[in-house]
Each structure stands twice: as structure tokens, then as C-alpha cells.
């Protein structure tokens, strides 16, 4: 029975700013330990992030990403939550890499501490 409320808690979408927004700060209230996730997109693109209710990284890769595109977002969410982040290069740009070295369009982050993540773009 505890899985249902936990699942519903994780359905929170992290993005809720307009596409033309340059900065977004989202605040949520949860019980239990929380960590802060800060995600920033470099010049040439934007990003989108969503929390994932699944218990594995692979299951989170195909989560729906809404149409919001952000330059930066900072959010506090429950510990041990998976968050998917997707890069959206602007026209004429491509994804260079994420701060962890990944070159995948979508990355999955497991929040076991406060994290800062950046995505870098390059001109085509």
C-alpha cells in the first residue's frame, strides 16, 4: 500500500516555466530527506527535466518530457529519486556533452546527494 502514495509523489514534473523563460526556480514540499538538483543549459540550447517514479535507470529513459524548455532549473526533491534530463539544441547547434562527459540526448540522474549538472552545446 505504501507504493501508491510514493508513486504519486514522484509524478511531479520539475518544469513549469514558459519556453522563453531564461530561469526557473521550482519549490516543492516533501517529507523526508531531500536533495537539491541544479541543471543549467549552456549557449545554444535548452533542457527539460522530469522526476521518474520507476526504480531503475533504464526504466526512466523513456519518460515523457513536456514541451517546456529551460535554460536553468533548481529544485529540491526527495532523496533516492531518479530524474531524467533531456537536452534540446537550438537550430544550428548540436549536443556537445553533459558535465559528466555523457553525449546522450537524455541522461538519468540518481539523487543520492546535492547535484549540479550542465549541458554544453556546439555550433554545427
Q: Which of these, 6, 81, 88, lies nearest to 50 by C-alpha position?
A: 81
pTM above 0.75, yes or no: no
pLDDT tens track for 76-99: 888 888 888 999 999 999 999 999
Please identify which residue in the block is written with the cell numbers 530524474: 83
Give the burial string for 99-119 (b: 16+ CB within 10 Å, else e): eeeeeeeebbbebeeebebeb
Number of domains, the chain: 1
CATH code at 93?
2.60.40
Q: Which pLDDT tens digit goes with each residue over 49-62?
A: 888 766 666 667 66
Cell of 92: 544550428
Domain range enclosing 62:
3-123
- pLDDT for residue 15: 37
Amino acid at each position: 500500500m505504501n507504493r501508491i502514495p510514493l508513486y504519486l509523489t514522484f509524478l511531479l514534473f520539475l518544469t513549469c516555466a514558459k519556453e522563453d523563460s531564461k530561469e526557473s526556480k521550482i519549490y516543492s514540499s516533501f517529507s523526508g530527506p531531500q536533495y537539491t538538483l541544479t541543471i543549467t543549459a549552456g549557449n545554444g540550447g535548452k533542457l527539460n527535466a522530469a522526476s521518474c517514479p520507476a526504480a531503475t535507470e533504464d526504466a526512466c529513459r523513456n519518460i515523457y518530457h513536456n514541451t517546456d524548455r529551460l535554460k536553468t532549473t533548481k529544485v529540491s526533491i526527495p532523496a533516492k529519486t531518479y530524474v531524467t534530463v533531456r537536452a534540446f539544441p537550438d537550430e544550428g547547434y548540436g549536443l556537445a556533452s553533459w558535465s559528466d562527459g555523457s553525449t546522450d540526448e537524455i541522461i538519468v540522474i540518481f539523487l543520492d546527494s546535492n547535484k549540479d549538472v550542465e549541458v554544453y552545446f556546439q555550433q554545427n
